Amino acid sequence: MMNTAKPSSPGVSARMSRQARSDTAPEVAVRKLLHASGYRYRLNERVPSMPRRTIDIAFTRAKVAVFLDGCFWHGCPEHATQPKSNAEWWRDKLERNVARDAETNEHLVAAGWTVLRFWEHQPPDEVAERVAEVVDREKSARRSNPGREER
């Protein structure tokens, strides 16, 4: 059942709608490190067969999807907060975000992608290192088995 509650005020709604959806500081930091290391990728690539969903950083040949999730919007177990004003509306909205992330993960994995999700608070160098390891592994596996779709 969908909650029909509204944001607590037009000001809150306007402020939240201005929140960056792409090119956030953590995304840019990770992308710079990957690019400097010679990795090439696509930005905000559409999730195949899922309208209005995009992959933050996509390695299409290796089929690696990287998401850098904001702690508030995606329910970080360490840093997520629950607004006190209009609490029910926010709880429902944030729970839908987490459910949508899980659905996107399942869809991509079923299509043969490797999905990597990181929190915005994770150090960019550690994120970039992990992404590079997985991309290299997947590229190598696909070269040795060109028809590979799933692990």
What is the value of pTM for the model shown? 0.81
58 in any annotated domain:
yes
What pLDDT shows up at residue 88? 86
32 in any annotated domain:
yes
In the structure, what pLDDT confidence band is assigned to residue 104 with cuts at 50, 70 and 90?
very high
Q: Mean pLDDT over residues 94-102, rounded?
A: 94
Task: State the CATH number of the domain containing residue 61.
Answer: 3.40.960.10
Phi, psi torsion values for 58, nearest 5 degrees: -120, 130
149 in any annotated domain:
no
- Counted domains in the chain: 1
Q: Mean pLDDT over residues 18-41, rounded?
A: 88
96 in any annotated domain:
yes
1 in any annotated domain:
no
10 in any annotated domain:
no
Helix (H) or strand (E) holding 134: helix 124-144
What pLDDT shows up at residue 96? 94
d(CA 138, CA 124): 21
d(CA 96, CA 64): 24
Q: Mean pLDDT over residues 129-149, rounded?
A: 88
115 in any annotated domain:
yes
Helix (H) or strand (E) holding 122: none
Domain that holds residue 62: 21-143
Residue 90 has pLDDT above 90, yes or no: no
d(CA 110, CA 150): 8
Residue 107 has pLDDT above 80, yes or no: yes
Residue 11 has pLDDT above 90, yes or no: no
148 in any annotated domain:
no
